[in-house]
Structure 1
Amino acid sequence: MVNAREIIDAAAAADGVAPVGEAQLRRLDSALVLDGAGVAVTDAAGGIAELAVHPAHRRRGIGARLLAAVAPAKVWAHGDLPAARALAAAAGLAPTRTLLQMTLADPPADPGPAPAGLRIEDLPAARARLGAAAVDAAWLAVNNEAFDWHPEQGGWDAAQLRRARDTDWFDPAGVLFAVDADGTIVGFHWTKVHPDGVGEVYVIGLADAARGRGAGGWLTRAGLAHLAGRGCRRVILYVEGDNDAAVAVYRRLGFTVSRRDVLYG
Structure 2
Amino acid sequence: MNTPIKRTGALTPAQRASVDRLVEQVASHDGISPLNEVALFALDGRGHAVHWLAHRDGEVVGYAQCDRSAGSVQLLVNPALRRQGIGTALAEQVRSVEPNPTWWAFGNLPGARALAERLGVTLQRELLIMERDLAQDPPEGRPAPEGIVVRPFRESDAQALVEVNAEAFADHPEQGQMSLDDFWMRAGEDWFDPEGIVVAIDDDSGCFLGFHWTKTEHSDPNNPDELMGEVYVIGVAPHAAGRGIGRVLLDAGLGHLSNKGVRRVRLYVEASSERVVRMYESARFVTVNRDASYSS
TM-score, length basis structure 1: 0.92
Aligned counterparts of 2:132 and 2:152: Cα–Cα separation in 1 = 23
Higher relative contact order (CA 8 A, sep 6+): 1
Q: Do structure 1's residue 18 and structure 2's residue 48 form an aligned pair?
A: no
Which residue number in structure 2 is paired with residue 95 of structure 1?
123
Offset, 1:58: 1.0
Offset, 1:112: 1.2
Matches within 5 A, 1:30-49: 31-35=51-55, 36-45=60-69, 47-49=71-73
Aligned counterparts of 1:26 and 1:86: Cα–Cα separation in 2 = 28
Offset, 1:15: 0.9
Q: Do structure 1's residue 155 and structure 2's residue 169 form an aligned pair?
A: no
Structure 1 segments of 4+ aligned residues over 4 angstroms from their partners: none
Q: Do structure 1's residue 137 and structure 2's residue 152 form an aligned pair?
A: no
Matched to 2:69, the amino acid is: A
Offset, 1:44: 4.2
Which residue number in structure 2 is paired with residue 67 of structure 1?
91
Q: Secondary structure at the match of 1:34?
A: strand
Q: Secondary structure at the match of 1:3?
A: helix
Aligned counterparts of 1:249 and 1:148: Cα–Cα separation in 2 = 20
The equivalent position to 1:220 in structure 2, one of 221, 246, 250, is: 250
Instruction: Tell me the percent identity.
Output: 40
Offset, 1:157: 2.4
Which residue number in structure 1 is paired with residue 210 of structure 2?
187
Matched to 2:213, the amino acid is: W
The equivalent position to 1:112 in structure 2, one of 126, 131, 142, is: 142
Q: Is 1:28–1:41's contact at 8 Å kept on the other side of the alignment?
A: no
Aligned counterparts of 2:133 and 2:250: Cα–Cα separation in 1 = 15
Number of equivalent positions = 257
Aligned counterparts of 1:245 and 1:153: Cα–Cα separation in 2 = 18
Which residue number in structure 2 is paired with residue 168 of structure 1?
190
Against the structure 1 CA distance between its residues 108 and 185, is the aligned structure 2 distance closer, same or farther, given a 3 Å change threshold? farther
Aligned counterparts of 2:188 and 2:171: Cα–Cα separation in 1 = 24
Aligned counterparts of 1:79 and 1:261: Cα–Cα separation in 2 = 5
The equivalent position to 2:284 in structure 1, one of 219, 231, 254, is: 254
The equivalent position to 1:242 in structure 2, one of 266, 269, 272, is: 272
TM-score, length basis structure 2: 0.83
